[in-house]
Chains A and B, each alone.
Chain A
Amino acid sequence: MLDLINVSYDTQIPNNVGLSSDKRVLKALEKWHPGYINWWNDLIPENFQQSLVYLRTAVSVDPKGWAKFDYVKMPEYRWGVLLAPQVEGRRIPCGEHAGEPAWQEVPGEYRALMRRLIVIQGDTEPASVEQQRFLGLTAPSLYDMRNLFQVNVEEGRHLWAMVYLLHKYFGADGREEADDLLRRQSGSEEAPRMLGAFNEETPDWLSFFMFTYFTDRDGKMQLESLAQSGFDPLSRTCRFMLTEEAHHMFVGETGVGRTIERTCQVMNENGIEDPYDTDRIRALGVIDLPTIQKKLNLHYTLSLDLFGQEVSTNAANAFNAGIKGRYMESRLDDDHKLTGDTYKVLDVDGDRIITRDVPALTAINMRLRDDYTRDASGGVGRWNKIIEKAGIQFEMKLPHESFNRKIGVFADKLFNPDGEHVTGAEYDEGMKNWLPTHADGDFIQSLMKPEREPGKYASWIAPPKVGINNKPGDFEYVKLHMA
């Protein structure tokens, strides 16, 4: 009888999938493991590899065992294969097979489609670690450095999770795909990562916070829809990953929030009421609110592109096949087949934005994107509360979905952040107020000075309200290795 709650440590890889009795997969993973460790070691600067980081490790999937905190050297982090406990009698939640018992093996007819979805998901995990590899050097505090590394090791574990599925269920093809996940590199000319947004380096910490808030939230929505999959091992993997993903949302939301809080605080201390008094505000070593809004505009719109075309037959096929569900599928109250339903999608008619009803089945992407926008707007509201509490007249806003898009019906069309069509001249003129300029980037870069004393924070960011695992303010989250 397999013990599905207690992770077995009798093999190299902590897992609750009975790896030790599955010699074939164990062997494949142990073969893949050295390449993974090489990838990690080549990636993160050496002195961080040797540092002791106060990290959370999942040692089992019950609520008690999945968050163990201790100092760990990152290369010794226990990346494991952990699946949420199997739900007895689970059924396929949507599509033409709705109501049939969930698959424990991949159905032959959906093999290619399923493999592709897993590979795309898997490709984003190491990509973001690659994008963020140099941020440790400019961390605004040991607390933030620890959060960065926590995000990194968990992305690493998510890669493990996807690689396990490839090895276990997709034979030789799967092994090849797993190797390719380590071969592709973010930003590489010859072998770039699969999605555009994952090939840009994350240049500074505000970008990192925006990335974790907006782009990781796309990841969260994709995981949510895969957690509804009729392929049970995929669903269970993604459900467990979502618990970890919540930490990434936390890093993003509080990171941006603390940046805003610090700016407001410094403005008040210096009697500056006008949030657009940029030069004075910047001279005080904090990031002015309009620049933060520009970063928001950029990262939100890049992330919207990750949802793909508004109307998509691929998405319809995946839903209909029961491979991907909608956000919170099991809580939705309809027939879960969408055969006769319609859904409103945005479209462009000349210069105007219109809505039109399309078959709901083809609008799966659009629906997930709408759920995403709703989810993302919550944190923006909480950021505004910080500004309001400080008594400053400024409001952060999500730009209209038509602004700055490269994919979908709005791709390369000239809309401003309010969703109004503008002329080429107006667009060129407006852009410097809508998206971060190189000069903005230079300014932000100038603030990226590392702060490595426990309990101290760089000039541009406020300390957090609560420590990780309730630790006190001056806790040494990273014991730096001084080479």
Chain B
Amino acid sequence: MSQPQKQHLIDPEICIRCYTCEMTCPVEAIVHDDSNVVVDFDKCNFCMDCIPVCPTGSIDEWRVVETPYSVEDQFSWMELPEQQDFGPAGSGVDTSIEALDEQMAALLAEAHSGAGGKSKAPASASKPSVNLYTIGKPAEATVQGNYQLTAEGADSDVRHIILDFDGHPFPVLEGQSIGIIPPGTDDNGKPHLPRLYSVSSPRDGERPNYNNLSLTVKREPNGVCSNYVCDLKVGDKVQVTGPFGATFLMPDDPDAKLLMICTGTGSAPFRAFTMRRQRNAAGRSGGMTLFFGARTPQSLPYFGPLKKVPETMLRKHLVFSRIEGEPKQYVQDKLREEAATVGDLLKDPNAYIYICGLRSMEEGVESAFADIARRNGLNWTDVRNGMREEGRYHVETY
């Protein structure tokens, strides 16, 4: 039996046939006839160059298929076919598939788009499980704890939520996400779709060898799911899908150097990475460096516990943009200050870069990297693309 594979498609009902994607595609995988513009499965290498140039959003469509749709099939379409149902998939599936249901896959594809091409997992990363639980068949978890991470009176409310899965297997790796289905219906009377949250605990559980995990969730004004999660009480039952994500993972190599850059709740996976190394390898570590931005120390999640992690384990650069009487500082400013060590990491074949947080941080971080690369006589785009191809450059922004 053939393995399910991911196929890139274009929505013929939304496409305006401007052919910009066709002109952009570096491998000529996109072709058109008088009716449709389509992607040739045999040629597309998922470089994602066509995604941002599309003016309509019709190009960001994905299906997991057993037999790919041919170019001729696609020419005849008036609308996109539905996603086939595959049910849960174990670790046997093509490991580049981040999720088997299209909405989650699209969300992750967008979150990872800042990497500038198809994301790849580190070669040594453990193999993730994806889609064990779906909207139709979610897992039920019980809330074990809900702690406020930000100080009273801080300008944001960030929560540390612990979920227990009781007897249901729910294997996650550091860097993976889970979906939470808020109860109730949307304006159109349809059940809410799950929202994705990155797991902030390591693979053996928030508490070692307990079947639980933790999330880091910020309350958003009018956020349907974030308010639901932030208001959860111990003992409440929660509907969970996932796990999702197959590329934003850590290398299984204690000597690998990790450079982690985040803002706000983007710290969740890096808490998991750090705890994984603390618990495993008895603290042995090729070195981890964290650049963490927040408005104030009071609004920086895990500010207290983070300070207790020894510098030998994790070099910490905490930067704040709203401290009274001090100039605003952002992660990219700190990166530039640390240009020498960051430059060394860009040249190190065993260094891995992870960026997680708000979409708006991407550009500043990229331009800091470009400057640092230039000073080291490197071209950032080449460095980035090379690292990404080797599974050493990861972006998850939202």
Please report which residues of chain A, range 163-201, place their CB below 8 angstroms from some CB of chain B when the two chains form the complex: none
Please report which residues of chain B, range 1-28, place their CB below 8 angstroms from some CB of chain A when the two chains form the complex: 13-14, 16-18, 20, 23-24
Whole-angstrom distance from the CB of B336 to the nearest CB of chain A? 13
Among A59, A246, A379, A467, the residue within 8 A (CB) of B363 is: A59
Residues of B within 8 A of A (CB): 13-14, 16-18, 20, 23-24, 48-53, 55-58, 60, 78, 106, 110, 113-114, 116-117, 359-360, 362-363, 366-367, 370, 374, 379-381
Cross-chain pairs A/B with CB under 8 angstroms, 5 sampled: A9-B367, A63-B48, A67-B53, A243-B53, A382-B16
- Nearest opposing residue in chain A for B366, CB measure: A65
- B14 contacts A249, C-beta separation under 8 Å: no
User: With A69-B359, A70-B360, A242-B20 in contact, is A466–B374 under 8 Å at CB?
Assistant: no
| Interface: A247 (CB within 8 A) | yes
Expressed in whole angstroms, the Cα–Cα distance for A378 and B374 within the complex equals 46
A469 / chain B contacts, CB cutoff of 8 Å: 57
B359 / chain A contacts, CB cutoff of 8 Å: 69-70
Expressed in whole angstroms, the Cα–Cα distance for A385 and B51 within the complex equals 26
A68 / chain B contacts, CB cutoff of 8 Å: 362-363
User: With A466-B14, A466-B58 in contact, is A63–B381 under 8 Å at CB?
Assistant: no
Whole-angstrom distance from the CB of A310 to the nearest CB of chain B? 26
- B17 contacts A470, C-beta separation under 8 Å: no
B374 / chain A contacts, CB cutoff of 8 Å: 3
- A465 contacts B13, C-beta separation under 8 Å: yes
Among B57, B114, B367, the residue within 8 A (CB) of A470 is: B57
- B52 contacts A250, C-beta separation under 8 Å: no
Whole-angstrom distance from the CB of A160 to the nearest CB of chain B? 20
- Nearest opposing residue in chain A for B51, CB measure: A63
Expressed in whole angstroms, the Cα–Cα distance for A6 and B384 within the complex equals 12
- A246 contacts B20, C-beta separation under 8 Å: yes
- B16 contacts A63, C-beta separation under 8 Å: no
Q: A64-B113, A254-B56, A467-B57 are in contact. List 20 more A-B contacts (CB 8 A).
A: A3-B374, A3-B379, A63-B48, A64-B48, A64-B114, A70-B359, A70-B360, A246-B16, A246-B18, A246-B53, A247-B55, A250-B16, A250-B18, A250-B55, A254-B16, A378-B17, A379-B16, A465-B14, A466-B57, A470-B57
| Interface: A66 (CB within 8 A) | yes
Expressed in whole angstroms, the Cα–Cα distance for A311 and B162 within the complex equals 76
- A470 contacts B52, C-beta separation under 8 Å: no
| Interface-centre pick from B48, B51, B55 (highest chain A CB count, 10 A) | B55
| Interface: A62 (CB within 8 A) | yes
Expressed in whole angstroms, the Cα–Cα distance for A435 and B55 within the complex equals 31
- B380 contacts A66, C-beta separation under 8 Å: no
Residues of A within 8 A of B (CB): 3, 5-6, 9, 59, 62-70, 242-243, 246-247, 249-250, 253-254, 378-379, 382, 385, 465-470
- A6 contacts B18, C-beta separation under 8 Å: no
User: With A63-B50, A68-B363 in contact, is A6–B57 under 8 Å at CB?
Assistant: no
- B53 contacts A66, C-beta separation under 8 Å: yes
Nearest 8 CB-CB pairings of A with B: A63-B49, A250-B55, A67-B52, A466-B57, A246-B18, A64-B116, A247-B55, A246-B20
| Interface-centre pick from A6, A66, A68, A470 (highest chain B CB count, 10 A) | A6
Whole-angstrom distance from the CB of B397 to the nearest CB of chain A? 11
- Nearest opposing residue in chain B for A251, CB measure: B55
Expressed in whole angstroms, the Cα–Cα distance for A5 and B370 within the complex equals 10
B380 / chain A contacts, CB cutoff of 8 Å: 6
Whole-angstrom distance from the CB of B51 to the nearest CB of chain A? 8
Expressed in whole angstroms, the Cα–Cα distance for A246 and B113 within the complex equals 21
Expressed in whole angstroms, the Cα–Cα distance for A400 and B14 within the complex equals 28
Expressed in whole angstroms, the Cα–Cα distance for A137 and B313 within the complex equals 57
- Nearest opposing residue in chain B for A60, CB measure: B381
Whole-angstrom distance from the CB of B55 to the nearest CB of chain A? 4
Among B52, B57, B78, the residue within 8 A (CB) of A64 is: B52
- B55 contacts A249, C-beta separation under 8 Å: yes
- Nearest opposing residue in chain A for B117, CB measure: A64
Whole-angstrom distance from the CB of B34 to the nearest CB of chain A? 8
B17 / chain A contacts, CB cutoff of 8 Å: 378-379
User: With A64-B116, A66-B53 in contact, is A249–B18 under 8 Å at CB?
Assistant: yes
B55 / chain A contacts, CB cutoff of 8 Å: 246-247, 249-250
Expressed in whole angstroms, the Cα–Cα distance for A6 and B383 within the complex equals 13
- Nearest opposing residue in chain B for A257, CB measure: B16
- Nearest opposing residue in chain A for B52, CB measure: A67
Whole-angstrom distance from the CB of A475 to the nearest CB of chain B? 12
Expressed in whole angstroms, the Cα–Cα distance for A86 and B359 within the complex equals 30
Expressed in whole angstroms, the Cα–Cα distance for A6 and B373 within the complex equals 11
- B60 contacts A470, C-beta separation under 8 Å: yes
Expressed in whole angstroms, the Cα–Cα distance for A465 and B49 within the complex equals 23
B366 / chain A contacts, CB cutoff of 8 Å: 65
| Interface-centre pick from B16, B24, B359, B370 (highest chain A CB count, 10 A) | B16
Whole-angstrom distance from the CB of B248 to the nearest CB of chain A? 17
Expressed in whole angstroms, the Cα–Cα distance for A356 and B238 within the complex equals 75
Whole-angstrom distance from the CB of A246 to the nearest CB of chain B? 4
Whole-angstrom distance from the CB of A339 to the nearest CB of chain B? 29
B53 / chain A contacts, CB cutoff of 8 Å: 63, 66-67, 243, 246
Whole-angstrom distance from the CB of B358 to the nearest CB of chain A? 10
| Interface-centre pick from B52, B116, B379, B381 (highest chain A CB count, 10 A) | B52
- Nearest opposing residue in chain B for A66, CB measure: B52
- Nearest opposing residue in chain A for B110, CB measure: A470
B50 / chain A contacts, CB cutoff of 8 Å: 63
- Nearest opposing residue in chain A for B15, CB measure: A382
- A62 contacts B57, C-beta separation under 8 Å: no
- B370 contacts A6, C-beta separation under 8 Å: yes
Whole-angstrom distance from the CB of A11 to the nearest CB of chain B? 14
Expressed in whole angstroms, the Cα–Cα distance for A8 and B20 within the complex equals 25
Whole-angstrom distance from the CB of A420 to the nearest CB of chain B? 28
B116 / chain A contacts, CB cutoff of 8 Å: 62, 64
Whole-angstrom distance from the CB of A60 to the nearest CB of chain B? 8
Whole-angstrom distance from the CB of B114 to the nearest CB of chain A? 8
B117 / chain A contacts, CB cutoff of 8 Å: 64
A467 / chain B contacts, CB cutoff of 8 Å: 57
Whole-angstrom distance from the CB of B383 to the nearest CB of chain A? 11
Among B60, B114, B381, the residue within 8 A (CB) of A62 is: B381
- B16 contacts A249, C-beta separation under 8 Å: yes
Whole-angstrom distance from the CB of A338 to the nearest CB of chain B? 24
B110 / chain A contacts, CB cutoff of 8 Å: 470
Whole-angstrom distance from the CB of A326 to the nearest CB of chain B? 16
